[in-house]
Amino acid sequence: MKLSIERSALLKAISQAQSVVERRNTIPILANVLIEAEGDTAHFRATDLDIEVVDKATAVVERAGATTVSAVTLHEIVRKLPDGALVNLIDDGATGRLAVEAGRSKFSLATLPKEDFPVMASSEYASNFSIAAPALRRLFDKSKFAISTEETRYYLNGVYMHVSDADGGQVLRCVATDGHRLARIDTDLPDGASAMPGVIVPRKTVNELAKLLNDDDLKIAVSVSETKVRFATPDVTLTSKVIDGTFPDYTRVIPQGNTRKLEVDASEFAKAVDRVATVSSERSRAVKLTLDEDRLILSVNAPDAGAAEEELAVAYGDESLEIGFNAKYLLEIASQVDRENAVFMFNSSGDPTLMREGNDTSAIYVVMPMRV
């Protein structure tokens, strides 16, 4: 194999590969990236056996071929090369080394046989559809903060992507929860998606996917089967196993009968929560919301550390209410609001509270209160 490639194109391709590779590996070849050169393209493939990413880059291929080298090492080398450099990758097959040459720099990297590289078995996808990058980005960006890290509830360690019925017809919906808060984000159902099976997309895949969605003009090709999900741009294909488990019936969790409505400027609210929470050194900082006629008092009382209070002008017309929340959870959901006021719907101090943006029900959040 012999090819030359522009440094920035190589860096882009190899960055995604090295982030998929697990830092600690018991199987040596999983630390490597498979480089395949043919025609006028080079493919860079990396996997952790659950996720596989393939990056395509234009290259001048003098001699077709394939080999594998350490993804992290190659990434570090390319990162440190000067911008605009032309990089030559040469594998003569006999030495078991890959030569990396750029200008006066020369590296020789150990390789492992390409035959040993595990390629993810291809899958029959039940549903293929295309969706604009911003819509897909919104689905995952707004829900991923609620993903659980608790290993015993592995079925919550991802975002549940599925087709659901909403007021205006069918929607493509993402839900994540950790048992303390829940996010439910909807978008218009893309053509061809209605037969899609519901899948739980693992946390790591969600994070890798975010890197594919930076370009607002891109259309993302999505393929879904019972066991796998694939997201593809013209240059990158991300294939992932989905979590083998049943996502709980989240619809029961979403309160329907909450009537006490609070409307507040989300960013003012978030800043105030952040300020009053400062005095508490507890791991779970509790903030008390005291609601009265158009008045909200946020307070924290940490007997060992101190106390804080802040008043906000809000729209609230119901009976007075006192309710406590974990400050971090409040901040996280308040920071999801980007256009309008945050609307909170309360029931009692022991019941789940609902939050949405204005009257938009395409993104709703539920948070469990805590005793204060």
Residues 222-251: x where in contact with another protein by CB under 8 A, - otherwise, as a string: --------------------------x-x-
332 binds another protein (CB under 8 A): no
Residue with tokens 């080079």: 42
Write phi, then psi, for 29 (nearest 5 degrees): -70, -20
345 binds another protein (CB under 8 A): no
253 binds another protein (CB under 8 A): yes
Least CB distance from residue 215 to another protein, whole Å?
36
- Least Cα distance to 367 among 255, 217, 200, 237 occurs for 255
Give the span between the Cα atoms of 328 and 326, in whole angstroms.
Answer: 6
Least CB distance from residue 289 to another protein, whole Å?
14
Whether 175 and 163 have beta carbons less than 8 Å apart is answered as: no
What is the DSSP code string of 202-225? EHHHHHHHHTT---TT-EEEEEE-
Least CB distance from residue 368 to another protein, whole Å?
5
CA distances from 20 to 16, 53, 234, 368 (A): 7, 7, 19, 34
Least CB distance from residue 140 to another protein, whole Å?
21
**Helix 203-210, helix 133-141: angle, nearest 10:** 140
Least CB distance from residue 300 to another protein, whole Å?
14
Give the span between the Cα atoms of 72 and 28, in whole angstroms.
Answer: 12
Least CB distance from residue 247 to another protein, whole Å?
10
For another protein, which residue of 16, 143, 223, 326 counts as binding (CB under 8 A)? 326
182 binds another protein (CB under 8 A): yes
368 binds another protein (CB under 8 A): yes
For another protein, which residue of 179, 192, 306, 317 counts as binding (CB under 8 A)? 179
For another protein, which residue of 82, 252, 259, 359 counts as binding (CB under 8 A)? 252
Burial class, 350, CB count within 10 angstroms (exposed 0-12 / middle 13-18 / buried 19+): exposed
The contact set with another protein (CB under 8 A) reads: 150-153, 177-182, 248, 250, 252-253, 282, 284, 286, 324, 326, 350, 352, 366, 368-372
